[in-house]
Amino acid sequence: MTLHNLDNLYRQSVMEHAKYPHHHAPVTEKDKHQIQKFNPTCGDMISLAVTVDDDRIIDCHFDGDGCAIAIASCSMMTDIMIGKTISQSQELMRMFSAMTMGENINFDAIGEAQILAGVTKFPTRIKCATLSWHALDDLLAHY
């Protein structure tokens, strides 16, 4: 695969998630565990809600406004996290964060989100990509 194709794949996948985000639903006062995160560098604003039952994430959804990377990353994150235990998800968050810093990780473990490794080339976008992951990390710290 040429670099051009790789960039294309990256762009297509990000745009697809940004346009049709998964688990995108209003976060309301009914959501007991929720958090708002703002990335002032870019203007991304995300509300994230999580429901944990018996140490396992059974629901995770979000709404908000942001750039394609922020929304796509959040969409991919919800896909990965639903069904995981708290410790599994904390490990995945640690890996994702390491990946955005250019570290070599077990890419398969984070599934489609590995495509966001491309942000290492654009330091100002790292916060866009990690915003929702940090939001979930903060939320799970309460459990």
Contacting range for Zn ion; rule: CB under 5 A; set: 5-13, 42-50, 84-92, 109-117? 42-50
Taking CB under 5 A as the rule, does residue 136 contact Zn ion?
A: no
**Which amino acid does the sequence have at 88?**
Q
Which CB, 16 or 55, lies closer to Zn ion?
16
**Subset of residues 106 to 135 that bind Zn ion, contact rule: CB under 5 A:** 128
Among residues 17, 23, 35, 44, the one that binds Zn ion under rule CB under 5 A: 44
Distance CA 128, CA 108 (A): 22
Cβ neighbours of residue 10 under 8 Å, at least 6 residues apart?
A: 115, 118
Which three-class secondary structure state does DSSP give residue 56? strand
Among residues 48, 57, 67, 93, the one that binds Zn ion under rule CB under 5 A: 67
Cα 101 from chain centroid (whole Å): 15
Which own/partner pairs from 122-126 qualify as long-range (CB within 8 Å, at least 24 positions apart)?
124/41, 124/42, 125/42, 125/67, 125/69, 126/100, 126/101
Taking CB under 5 A as the rule, does residue 72 contact Zn ion?
A: no
Contacting range for Zn ion; rule: CB under 5 A; set: 20-28, 35-43, 85-93, 99-107? 35-43
Contacting range for Zn ion; rule: CB under 5 A; set: 6-14, 41-49, 54-62, 80-88? 41-49
Among residues 35, 52, 60, 70, the one that binds Zn ion under rule CB under 5 A: 70
- Strands across the sheet containing 44-53: 34-39, 44-53, 56-65
Taking CB under 5 A as the rule, does residue 45 contact Zn ion?
A: no
Binding site for Zn ion (CB under 5 A): 42, 44, 67, 70, 128
